[in-house]
Amino acid sequence: MNLRDLTYLVSVAEHLHFGKAAAACHVSQPTLSMQLKKLEEEVGAQIFERTNKSVMLTETGGEIALRARRVLHEVDQIRQIARGASDPLVGDLRIGVFPTLAPYLLPALVPRMKQEFPGLNLLLVEDKTAGLLRQLEEGSLDCALLAMPVSSFHLSGAPVFREDFLFAVPVDHPLANRESIHVSELENRSLLLLDEGHCLREQALNLCAEIGAGEAMNFRATSLETLRHMVAAGNAVTLIPRLAVRDDALVRYIPFVEPVPSRLIGLYWRKTSARAPLYGMLRRHPALWPL
């Protein structure tokens, strides 16, 4: 058993397709299949169920694949320690960002990162919070921007910036000409919210519970852009994070007076990561983040 074989195993476990796994590992499919067959013979257990149309992990194979990921992660950590000893600001950096933040933050953040840390090669992943947490713990991500708080024994995290919410209404809404609004004025109103799995949905629901507002039950949006279009069409009111605000002739964004509803964005990484000093440096860098 060697690291190459474990890499092949994990690749097939992720793709559930020998051809795609071989391409990802830059080897031929027969070579990959032969090595995994030898690995099964060595461990004395069937790892994959193979048919002409599909590949599945056996129960034993799932356990082996989980531990193989951990082994490869630890090997990567050894490499990171060695690389970081010479220069912690050089190498790949795999960052995860959730969907209601990524398209609005990354276009400004990436150029700043390249300017301030030219030795880092940024690899960006957009996924919902649950997916980012899973990838962090598995080691396929180095760090992730998440809405705080996040409960995980395996992760460390620290705040990066706070983002206010604005009240989005159609231009012909009775409140559209207001310069500001108090959260109490949302009482008994129905807000259009995002679908399950979005952290912004949970934040909005918590606010609704505090002030006595409700959720519009006739529709749930899959993105902030869908929310924006529904408001523009005159069918809804909602909360929009400040970074997502755009000039729009059909939507008015009304700021809140104190107490301003907001979300706190934090940077998270594994407690065991050899690059923890780098993450601390990134989150405290004043040129990277919105004020």
Residues 172 and 155 in one domain: no
Question: Looking at residue 25, which CATH number applies to its domain?
Answer: 1.10.10.10
Residues 171 and 251 in one domain: yes
Residues 172 and 257 in one domain: yes
- Examine residue 289 and state whether it is found in any structural domain, yes or no: no
Residues 258 and 171 in one domain: yes
Considering just the CA atoms, what is the radius of gyration of the chain in Å? Answer: 23
Question: Looking at residue 246, which CATH number applies to its domain?
Answer: 3.40.190.10
CA 240, distance to chain mean position in Å, is 19
State the pLDDT at residue 86.
62
3-state SS string over 168-211?
A: EEECCCCCCCCCCECHHHHCCCEECCECCCCHHHHHHHHHHHHH
Neighbours of 123 (CB within 10 A): 12
Residues 171 and 257 in one domain: yes
Residue that has been written with the tokens 């997916």 in this structure = 131
Quote the tokens at residue 135: 């990838």
Residues 96 and 34 in one domain: no
Q: What range defines the domain where residue 150 resides?
A: 87-161+264-284
In this structure, is the dihedral angle defined by the CA atoms of residues 106, 110, 116 and 121, taken in order, positive or negative?
Answer: positive
Residues 279 and 143 in one domain: yes
Residues 256 and 235 in one domain: yes
State the pLDDT at residue 244.
94
**What tens-digit pLDDT sequence spans the chain (291 residues)?**
899 999 999 999 999 999 999 999 999 999 999 999 999 999 999 999 888 778 899 999 899 999 999 898 888 878 776 766 566 788 889 999 999 999 999 999 999 999 999 989 899 999 999 999 999 988 889 999 999 999 888 899 999 999 999 999 999 999 999 999 999 998 888 888 888 778 888 888 888 888 888 888 778 888 899 999 999 998 889 999 999 999 889 999 999 999 999 999 999 999 988 788 899 999 999 899 986
Q: Examine the fold and report which residue of 82, 115, 144 is the final residue of a domain before the chain moves on.
A: 82
What are the tens digits of pLDDT across the range 265-287? 999 999 988 788 899 999 999 89
Query: How far apart are alpha carbons 285 and 266 in whole angstroms?
Result: 13
Q: Is the pTM of this model over 0.85?
A: no
What are the tens digits of pLDDT across the range 153-196? 889 999 999 999 999 999 999 999 999 999 999 888 888 888 87
The count of domains in the chain is 3
- Examine residue 131 and state whether it is found in any structural domain, yes or no: yes
